[in-house]
Amino acid sequence: MKALVYKSTGKVMLEEKEKPGLIASTDAIVKVIKTTICGTDLHILKGDVKEVVHGTILGHEGIGIVEETGSNVSNFQKGDHVLISCITSCGKCEYCRKGMYSHCRNGGWILGHLIDGTQAEYVRIPYADTSLYHIPAGTNEESLVMLSDILPTGYECGVLNGQVQPGTTVAIVGAGPIGLAALTTAQFFSPAIIIMIDTDNNRLEVAKQMGATHAINSSQENAIKAIMALTEYEGVDTAMEAVGIPATFELCTQIIRPGGKIANIGVHGKSVSLALEDLWSKNITITTRLVDTYTTPMLLKTVTSNKLDPGVFITHRFKLSEIETAYNTFGNAAKEKALKVIISNEL
């Protein structure tokens, strides 16, 4: 089968690989129909995620058709159309029983990380019964790729951890797909103000179309001064970091009001300074999180009831044979005006 392989820092290559087979009785083999590239994949390419070994097939998002199931898989059968979760959960360990599926002792984020992932013609899904979701008939399947990762990540790590409430003020630093997913799902709670901060005017314009009340280009104006002016010089109730670099996290600490919540979403590859000499007395809460995907069923219902359209995140489409070009497009998002790219298998 064809698969996108992580060769070395900064290098991926489409190669012929052996089709995966069942290893455990709880596995399923899924024929991948559509997948995408995540910002986390770019962090892997930069060397930020050290545990990803060279030779790994990347990708942790997608939809597909069940090809084969192990003897202990009861919820799925050959031919089922499924949504692949970025998080694998056994459903039985201590962390799974707490709903912290990202820390499953036998799973968590392993696809395209610790085991081969979805940027291929086929993928093995461990613990299929608790790591796949049935796709309702008549659903726009392509758009559901956004439910593999970015929408539950933005919602759980940003909106829920940031405790967004009606009438509150929210700032989201980073208007990439994850930041826009947080913007979209924050509106479930009707905050009064949602401020998007980025250096890309195109993404900021998209953010305004998706519901941001204000957009600030931090390369063209002083973001701190602008946010303070918008919040009566108090700062925001919730600040979400959706980039994964020191400067954006530190900006969040500079715009938060007393009693506010800083919700980190981004994947960080470098240490971040924490100015406790300024923050210790402000009663703020800082949260970190790897998405647990426990909200995926709710988000899926929201999509199927036409309350949420994940298709708005898709800007480019490629065939699997073009996936190296897709990486270049996604990696140069500002130039290419790219948000999420869809990669389709030619099966």
Chain segment 179-206, per-residue pLDDT in tens: 999 999 999 999 999 999 999 999 999 9
Task: Give the three-class secondary structure for 203.
Answer: helix
| Residue 173 near residue 201, CB atoms below 8 Å | no
How far apart are the C-alpha atoms of 343 and 347, rounded to whole Å?
Answer: 12
Q: Which residues of the chain have pLDDT under 70?
A: 347
Predicted local confidence at residue 269, as pLDDT: 87
How far apart are the C-alpha atoms of 301 and 152, rounded to whole Å?
Answer: 13
How far apart are the C-alpha atoms of 223 and 106, rounded to whole Å?
Answer: 43
Predicted local confidence at residue 347, as pLDDT: 62
Residues in the chain: 347
Q: 55: Cβ–Cβ under 8 A, 6 or more apart, which residues?
A: 5, 6, 7
User: For strand 340-344 and strand 314-319, is the pairing parallel, antiparallel, or unpaired?
Assistant: parallel
| Residue 82 near residue 66, CB atoms below 8 Å | yes
How far apart are the C-alpha atoms of 299 and 147, rounded to whole Å?
Answer: 7
Bridge partners (DSSP) listed for residue 194: 170
How far apart are the C-alpha atoms of 278 and 292, rounded to whole Å?
Answer: 32
How confident is the model over 293-308, as pLDDT tens digits? Answer: 999 999 999 999 999 9
Both ends of the chain: CA-CA distance in Å? 11
How far apart are the C-alpha atoms of 301 and 37, rounded to whole Å?
Answer: 24
Q: Count CB-CB contacts under 10 A for residue 106.
A: 17
Predicted local confidence at residue 346, as pLDDT: 78
User: For strand 169-173 and strand 236-241, is the pairing parallel, antiparallel, or unpaired?
Assistant: parallel
Predicted local confidence at residue 138, as pLDDT: 87
For residue 81 the two structure tokens come to 């159309």
- Please tell me the pTM assigned to this model: 0.96
Which DSSP helix (H) or strand (E) runs through 3?
Answer: strand 2-8
Dump the DSSP string for 20-72: P---STT-EEEEEEEEE--HHHHHHHHT-STTPPTTPBP---EEEEEEEE-TT
